[in-house]
Each structure stands twice: as C-alpha cells, then as structure tokens.
Amino acid sequence: MADQDYYKILGVERGAKKDDVRKAYRKLARKYHPDLNPGNKEAESKFKTLSVAYDVLSDEKKRKLYDEFGEAGLATGFDADKARTYEQWRQQSARAGGTQAFDTDDLGDLFGGLGGMFRSRPQARTDPQRGGDIESTMDIDFLDAVRGFQTAITLDRPVSCDSCHGSGIKAGTMPSNCPQCGGSGNLAVAQGPLQFRQACPHCGGSGKLPGASCTACAGSGRITRAETIRVNIPPGADPGKRIRLRGKGSAGLRGGPAGDLFITPRIQPHPLLTRTGGDLSMDLPITVGEAVRGASIEVPTTSGPINVKIPAGSQSGQQLRIKGRGVAAHGHTGAGDLYLRLMVRVPKEEVDQDAIDKIDRAYGKNVRQSIRL
C-alpha cells in the first residue's frame, strides 16, 4: 500500500510551519469531529486520519523521519542510521548488477531495527478478538419516548457456538504441527539478492493446524440465532441518538468479548404535541368567556393533568409557559417546559353576555374533549 501524504491530508505545503499545521488541523478537526457528525462513519474515519497526520507533522522528530523515509520511518523501533546504510547498499548493488547474495543471518543486525518494513506478511492472530457491533432501529411512540419505558427487541445475532464453545474445532480433535513450516510458523523465501523469513501461508504463521472443523458452525466458532433482548428506553430519548447495549453485539472470537448493540430510535409524531429539545408545545382551545373573564381549567400533560390559570383578557395565539412539564430528564439539564398556545373559539354570530354564559356552561368542557394524552 502506498504511503499516505500527510501534507495533502491536512492541506499544507511540505515546508509549512508548525503553527500553519496546527491551524489547518483545527479547522478540519472541527468539521469532521464525531460529536458534530453522529453516526457518520466517513467523518469518523476522516477525523482519525487527520489526527494521525497531525501527530506526525506536529512532532519534529517524527516529521523528519516521515519526510526522509515515509510511513516506514515511523515504525516502532525504526533505526534511521541502519535505514540509510541499507539504502546506500541497495543503490550500490543496483549499479553493480545486483548479483551479490546475502544471508538472513548476515544482515540480521542491519534489518533488526527496521520494524515491519521487510516483513512479507503479518503473523496470524491467535489472541482473543472482540466481536463486531450491531446496528438496529426501533419505532417508538412519542409519549413513550418522553416518559421512558422498557421493551424487548428480537433480532438475529452471531453468538458463540454451543458445540465447540467458540473454538471452531470439533470436540475431541487436537491441533497438529504444520507440515510445511515444521511448526515454526515461518518460511525462508528469496526476494532478489536477499533472503527473508515470512509467515507460513499454510498455517497463517501460527505453526499449528487446527483439528477437524466443528460441523455446527463450519469452523467459524459462531452461529446466528434469534434472541430477545430487554431494552430500557430512558426518559427523553432523542430521535436519532443511539442507545447502547454493551455486550449484545456479535460474539467475539477465540474467547474475546462480544461487541455492542446500538439501537437508533425512530420517534413517531404526536397529533397534538410537538417537541423542541426538552420543551413541548400544544394548542389549547378555550371559549370566549374563559378568554374574557379568565378561568382555571384542567390541562392534560405527559405526567398527568394539571390546573392552568387563564388570565383575564387573553388573546387567541397567546402563549403560556408551564415550567417543568416538558420532556423529563432531558440530557443533564432537568425537565423542559410545556408551552400552551391559546386558541379562542369565537361563535360565528354576535351574541350578548348572557349568550356567552350559556355557551360556556354548555360548551366550556366539551371544547377540550379532543385533548387526550
């Protein structure tokens, strides 16, 4: 794989000053930061790449090695002096026709500090590996999202195989030494005038061949089955904000921990209520008499009915604020507020005060019967 151009990633010239590198990084980091791009995997990957590039170019020692040797110069244990010696030898060998042969032991000291530059293939992983995460969505009623509730979700997920306990090997069979590398896990190979050792392709560098594969999981160590998982939806669940269930993702490999399950709620709209952050809004119909004289009326809220005082002389469209009756436990700032927009119901024909009184007595409570939370 070709080296990444850290200068191009940050959008600076090779001779850029340290302050210019820092400014370029901060500008791009604000744009691609995961907190500002929730759920955006592309932005998250871009932010990680930016961070690596800045870590190298902001450090004088790392930047010097990168400028001279590329990403290989940043490998753990990299010895710049030995790398220069190798490069001189390589150029001399090319001019001479490249006929001189070298053995691995003769060049052991030279290549000992070059990290992974000359490793043809990484060693196979035999350590425990964490399972992957699972993404799912859930449709949630508006009021349930505001109040919080417990539910269950059924989904198919990879779990550890019961027959082989996640090993992928059939019970009763044992691993054996790889016949190709004799159990060492690596082979001597020639590349031009040099000889190197690389991971054995037959056993993947482990030196062992597993026993017979488990028939239940076809040797993968995992099977997929439907599971019902209890989910706690907290009060004030935000639409689009994922809920994390630790250890409920895919089972790990070789005894590794399971991944996590992330549930993204899709909150259904409410016919009367609208939500803005932690606040709720609702239209409240009142009669002409209640608007003119003022009144105390019962209003339903997400946490139970309350009595609200309507000021005398209220106008249609006027807004009342009821503190603490919005979304409960929204974030870390406590409950939000409930905003009531007064909607005065005016009779079509002109009526006197006595008629208004009769309308109030017959119509006052019925006008709010449509409000049920």
How do the pLDDT tens digits run along the chain, 373 residues long?
Answer: 456 888 999 999 988 999 999 999 989 988 888 878 888 888 888 888 988 889 889 988 888 888 887 776 666 455 566 566 655 655 665 555 544 444 434 444 444 444 444 443 444 445 678 889 999 889 999 999 998 899 998 989 899 888 888 877 787 777 778 888 888 888 876 554 455 677 887 777 777 776 777 888 887 788 888 989 999 988 888 877 889 999 999 998 877 899 999 999 999 999 889 998 889 999 999 988 899 999 999 998 888 899 999 999 999 999 999 998 988 765 556 788 999 999 997 665 555 556 556 556 555 555 555 555 6
Other beta carbons less than 10 A from residue 47's beta carbon: 21
* Rounded Cα gap, residues 158 and 9, in angstroms: 37
Same fold, 134-173+224-267 and 274-368: yes
CB 295 within 8 A of CB 347: no
Q: At what angle do helices 18-32 and 41-57 cross, to 10 degrees?
A: 170
Strands 338-345 and 279-287: parallel
**Dihedral (Cα; 27, 33, 38, 40), 10-degree rounding:** 80
CB 62 within 8 A of CB 56: yes
Structure tokens belonging to residue 130: 């964490």
Which residue reads 């790398």 in tokens? 83
Query: What pTM was estimated for this model as a whole?
Result: 0.51
- The total number of residues written for the chain in this structure: 373
pLDDT at 11: 93
Name the residue ranges covered by the structural domains of the chain: 6-74, 134-173+224-267, 274-368
Name which of 339, 353, 340, 341 is nearest 288 in CA terms: 353
pLDDT at 217: 85
* CATH class of the domain at 6-74: mainly alpha
Q: How far is CA 317 from CA 142, 282, 285, 365, in A?
A: 25, 11, 10, 20
Q: How far apart are the first and last CA of the chain?
A: 60
pLDDT at 116: 40
* Rounded Cα gap, residues 210 and 204, in angstroms: 11
pLDDT at 358: 59
Which residue reads 């896990």 in tokens? 185
Q: How far is CA 351 from CA 346, 356, 362, in A?
A: 10, 7, 15
Fold for the domain defined by 134-173+224-267: HSP40/DNAj peptide-binding domain (2.60.260)
* Rounded Cα gap, residues 161 and 47, in angstroms: 37
Nearby residues of 112 by Cβ (< 8 Å), 6 or more positions away: 79, 82
Q: How far is CA 269 from CA 1, 140, 278, 329, 330, in A?
A: 49, 10, 15, 20, 18
Domain 274-368: assigned CATH number? 2.60.260.20
